[in-house]
Amino acid sequence: MAIFVNENTKVIVQGLTGGQGKFHGLRNRAYGTQVVGGVTPGKGGQDVEGIPVFDSVADAVKATGADASFIAVPPKAAPAAILEAAMAGVRFIVCITEGIPAQDEARVFNTLQRDFPGTRLLGPNCPGIISPGKCNIGITAGEIAELPSTKGPNVGIVSRSGTLTYQALYELKQKGIGVSTCVGIGGDPVPGTSFVDCLAEFEKDPETHAIIMIGEIGGSAEEEAAEFIKKNVTKPMSAYIAGVTAPAGKKMGHAGAIVSGGKGTAQGKMDALRAAGVKVGLNPTEAGSLMAEIVAGLR
C-alpha cells in the first residue's frame, strides 16, 4: 500500500519554472509520478515540457485535481507557498526549501494545525518522499530505491538526514530488500511531520513489515519516538543515530542538530531506542545489516 503517497497521487510543483523545480519536477515525472501541473505567479498559460503552468495553486487544483504539492521556491517565499497550497485544499505538501527561519516554520506549523488539519506538511529542508514504483516527490534519486515485493517482507524508512536517507535506501537495495515508503522528514527544528507521525502510519500499513529509523543529535524527537515505539509499534526496527562524536554546542549540518545543556546526545538517543527494543547500528551500513537480519527472520 505505502504511506502518504501512491500511484494515484497527483502532484503540482510550486516553482516549476525555476531551475530546481524544473530539474526535480521533471525527474519525478520521469520516475512515473503524476506531475500534473506547476505554479508560478505571472506565468500561467505557459508549460514546462508539456506540464501546464498556473498562476495560483487554486487554479492548478481546479484544473488538474491535484492533491499533493512539491514546493521548490526560495526561503522568503516558502512559508506563503505552503499556506497557499493548504488554502487550496492540497492534502500533502512536500517542501524541500532550506534556510527558512525557525520562527516562520513555527508560525506555518501552528497555522496548519489550527486551520488546516486535513493538510500534512513534509519538511521543510527535506529530501521528500518516495513510494518505490508508485510515486516520488522531492529530490531522491528513484533508481536507488528497491521496489517492494508483493509477498514481502518490505521495509519502511524514516530519516531526519537527507544524505543518510539515500544511504539507507541503497543499503537495502544492495541486499535486495524492498521498500514500501521512504520518508525524509528533514532536520530543521520545526518539522511538519515527525518520526512519530511516520511510525504510526508504518505500523498501520500492511505492506510495511519492518522499519528503519535514521536520527541525529539535537532535540528530543528520537526520545519521543522511542516512547511511542514502546507503546505502539509491534513491527521490528533497526536504527542509526548520526553525530556520536559531535562536540557540545556546535551545530552539525542541520539547524536542529545541536547538543545543548547535555541534552540531545547521540548516546542518549541510542540508549532510549535500545530500551524500546530497537536494534541500533553504530553506522548506517550496520543498521542496514541489522535490518537484513530482521528481514531474514521474517521470511
254 is catalytic: yes
* Cell reading at 187: 532536520
Are the beta carbons of 122 and 193 closer than 8 angstroms?
yes
Phi, psi of 38 (to 5 degrees): -130, 165
- Given the residues 29, 235, 254, 269, select the one marked as catalytic: 254
| Residues with a known catalytic role | 254
